[in-house]
């Protein structure tokens, strides 16, 4: 769907100016959008996982640990796929104002793709280098967007999310180094073209929400403060956008590609052509013969 088509649907929570600003700049900051009741529930569950991480000595599929993590002084870098691990995260991602925001920016049909709870621990929580997301999980279009929620107040010292305005409309960079090794970040030589000095750093009180498009160049600095920075991120895509299944982190997470609003249209656009597509056979395979003979 084009921005004009999306804008023709009545918005749920955003103003038309906010929707247009997202299409023009590739990102939004929505101060204190999440209410206290949700925040308290999510914080309590997040704290349970920090407790669990004390027993973890090595990063695994669930907990990504910073060097120096110990059971006495946990330093969690990320809880991967929180939606897979607790119904509160699931309910929040599938059934809260986040889906309204996604609908306002993607149109009436919305799928959940994945989630993560990024921490930047106090006194040096690591930087996230400048990158774009679409290379990690390519789709049939560039609709995917990520909605972040700051679970605590975040200021400049804490490594807030920085986004280069308008970069979503520019080049898609190679996130490999010169030898072809995947480094997941834009090469230093290409950063001259990006000009991260123009980045807008999104910060605010607990409950503030960030949105960025999958092509927006973004990153964040180390957390130099004595405070931990928790940022809960969930990615959504338009209902007619499909992951290229064998690339990157597509296909990971138990709830990947769950429809959270509207319906999955029976067409998609590939290389600029509209394709009426077959239904999902993952519930059981039927051969072309059987389907044509209507057995
Ligand atoms: O946590 C952050 O500041 C940035 C997160 C991010 O870009 C990512 O996890 O891909």
Domains in the chain, ordered, with CATH? 3-292 (2.60.120.620)
Ligand 1 within 6 A of CB of 231:
yes
Closest Cα partner for 108 from 216, 243, 272, 259?
A: 259
Report CA(104)–ligand 1 centroid distance (Å). 23
- With a 6 Å cutoff on the Cβ, whether 235 touches ligand 1 is no
Give pLDDT, residue 47: 97
CA of 274 to the centre of ligand 1 (A): 33
H or E element in which residue 213 lies: strand 209-213
pLDDT attached to residue 249: 86
Q: Ligand 1, residue 161: give the atom nearest the CA.
A: 3
Residues 6+ apart with CB under 8 A from 65: 53, 56, 58, 59, 75, 76, 77
Q: What tens-digit pLDDT sequence spans the chain (295 residues)? A: 999 999 999 999 999 999 999 999 999 999 999 999 999 999 999 999 999 999 999 999 999 999 999 999 999 999 999 999 999 999 999 999 999 999 999 999 999 999 999 999 999 889 999 999 999 999 999 999 999 999 999 999 999 999 999 999 999 999 999 999 999 999 999 999 999 999 999 999 999 999 999 999 999 999 999 999 999 999 999 999 999 988 988 888 999 999 999 999 999 998 889 999 998 888 898 999 999 998 8
pTM score: 0.96
């Amino acid at each position: 769907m084009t921005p004009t088509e999306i804008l023709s649907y009545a918005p749920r929570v955003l103003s038309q100016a906010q929707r247009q600003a997202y299409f023009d700049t590739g990102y939004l900051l929505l101060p204190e959008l999440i209410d206290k009741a949700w925040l308290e529930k999510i914080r309590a569950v997040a704290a349970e996982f920090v407790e669990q991480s004390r027993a973890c000595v090595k990063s695994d599929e669930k907990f990504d640990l910073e060097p120096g993590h110990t059971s006495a002084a946990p330093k969690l870098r990320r809880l991967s796929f929180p939606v897979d691990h607790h119904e509160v995260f699931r309910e929040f991602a599938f059934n809260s104002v986040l889906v309204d925001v996604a609908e306002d920016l993607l149109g009436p049909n919305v799928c959940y793709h994945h989630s993560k709870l990024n921490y930047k621990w106090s006194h040096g929580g690591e930087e996230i280098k400048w990158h774009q997301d679409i290379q990690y999980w390519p789709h049939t279009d560039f609709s995917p967007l990520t909605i972040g929620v700051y679970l605590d107040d975040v200021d400049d010292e804490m490594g807030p999310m920085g986004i280069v305005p308008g970069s979503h409309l520019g080049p898609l960079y190679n996130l490999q180094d010169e030898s072809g090794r995947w480094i997941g970040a834009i090469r230093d030589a290409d950063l001259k073209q990006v000009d991260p000095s123009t980045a807008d750093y999104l910060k605010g009180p607990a409950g503030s929400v960030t949105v960025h498009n999958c092509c927006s160049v973004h990153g964040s600095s180390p957390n130099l403060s004595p405070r931990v920075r928790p940022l809960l991120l969930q990615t959504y895509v338009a209902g007619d956008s499909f992951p290229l299944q064998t690339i990157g982190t597509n296909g990971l997470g138990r709830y990947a590609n769950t429809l959270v609003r509207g319906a999955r249209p029976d067409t998609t656009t590939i290389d600029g052509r509209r394709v009426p597509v077959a239904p999902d056979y993952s519930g059981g395979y039927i051969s072309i013969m059987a389907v044509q003979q209507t057995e």
